[in-house]
Structure 1
């Protein structure tokens, strides 16, 4: 408790403090349009090689091969008729007769749109035995995949490698002043007074990662793109003040726009970024106060703690 004598010890003290000249919260919206190239499907090659035995008594074609759930398939087919019932062996491709082979003959062809391969051993239904030979086909095809789900597109703040980052991470988003010149402008306030403010040019930049999914919900494409936005903010920012910019909230939404041409490998992505930021201008200043300097107990054995009690 201070005694009356201590009030006579009041002195003028100068202390260094941080003065806030202006402080605003702003919402910014950034729109980005990107074209993402969807990887073309790889072409796979497969080979089927086997011996066939077609009953001579069968009057309907026997199926050797048919496609199932595969589009855009082509193949090179070769067949050798080694032995049979004395009658021709008919090769049927895609439901149409492609060749009629006698015993000991072979046949080879390439089909772009291959759907089915059948054999018919032309003979009397009462004849026993088999038409025997070797069948070989080399297939070129693209496996069936799910269609891209244009309604399921996600995006998030990340580093340049696509790793998610929180806005509290100093690497996540850069918000800084990029011009040394702060032009002055006159602004009329709501009460009619004229205030001189400064145009402060601020840049915000970072990275966004986009994820595309197919109809089954599986991730099929990831792409990381940079973004940058420059805006001018009116602040009380006289020479010597420092700009401090802090990101309070970050959100992004991504929308996929399908190409008009289905053969176009590019998907257009529209990204809308919303940023809430706190921007203030500050400077170190010296303040003069009257008060009593009181010494307290030492902290440990080294540091002497002092307190200044301002007099009001």
Structure 2
């Protein structure tokens, strides 16, 4: 195995990212509803190859529009599906700068102690796409990317010099389309979990020891020990 330096441990100075505070919040984005001209605009004819209104088109596709499946998913600004956990760059999640900086807020802890924290505002923006799927599973219509946004206020340990790091750890989009003789409306509801951290680069002293590469382990080779098939002693060569 590898060998350590003569001194087992020594104090070293390292640069690392320190988390000053960390919270998670479930957020219900305000419901977005589309009707009239707005409903027609988010489903362009190039995406649906339709004539007439959306409800006329859907009725022509299925006698009962309620038999159609409507699904909604997160996308980038161009309408490409994204995974919010993996493709964080496709979303905007940033601090909203306040004119007088982060305002101090006195908070009473469960122990009764009063501490001073800071008010931090975060902005989350992204896009979703709505697809209408036939009973046979064929996408018959797809919307243009629909923008959404939410602004949230957090009370955090956020002293001057710390930066906001936020990302979405869960995302769910639900849709409902109503088509009647006198009424047509699409509702889009979004629920997400927002993780917010206040961070800063710091230099800390730790007691550690330097390590060396270990010796490489050779792959074990199992050689067969039984080279011959099993014998039949009852019949040969006993007979």
Which has a greater percent of strand? Answer: 1
Does residue 207 in structure 1 map to residue 127 in structure 2?
A: yes
- Cα 1:14–1:146, aligned 2, differ >3 Å: closer, same or farther? closer
Residue by residue over 1:194-213, the C-alpha shift from the partner in whole angstroms, topping out at 9 and shown as x without a partner, is 12111111111111101234
User: Residues of 2 paired with 1:210 and 1:191: CA distance?
Assistant: 48
User: Residues of 2 paired with 1:162 and 1:257: CA distance?
Assistant: 24
Higher RCO by CA contacts (8 Å cutoff, separation 6 or greater): 2
Partner of 1:281: 198
Partner of 1:162: 79
Match of 1:41 among 47, 51, 57: 51
Q: CA RMSD in A?
A: 3.3
Which has a greater percent of helix? Answer: 2
Structure 2 regions of 5+ residues with no counterpart?
53-58, 214-239
User: Residues of 2 paired with 1:153 and 1:222: CA distance?
Assistant: 10
User: Residues of 2 paired with 1:231 and 1:251: CA distance?
Assistant: 18
Cα deviation, residue 152, structure 1: 2.6
Does residue 146 in structure 1 map to residue 66 in structure 2?
A: no
- Cα 1:295–1:275, aligned 2, differ >3 Å: closer, same or farther? closer
Partner of 2:115: 195
User: Residues of 2 paired with 1:14 and 1:217: CA distance?
Assistant: 59
Cα deviation, residue 255, structure 1: 1.2
Cα deviation, residue 276, structure 1: 1.4
User: Residues of 2 paired with 1:220 and 1:291: CA distance?
Assistant: 62
Cα deviation, residue 15, structure 1: 3.1
State the secondary structure of the residue aligned to 1:149: helix
Q: Is the CA contact 2:168–2:193 (under 8 Å) kept in the aligned structure 1?
A: yes
Larger radius of gyration: 1
Does residue 175 in structure 1 map to residue 90 in structure 2?
A: no
User: Residues of 2 paired with 1:282 and 1:236: CA distance?
Assistant: 10
Partner of 1:229: 150
User: Residues of 1 paired with 2:60 and 2:198: CA distance?
Assistant: 59
Partner of 1:87: none
- Cα 1:202–1:192, aligned 2, differ >3 Å: closer, same or farther? same
User: Residues of 2 paired with 1:162 and 1:289: CA distance?
Assistant: 47
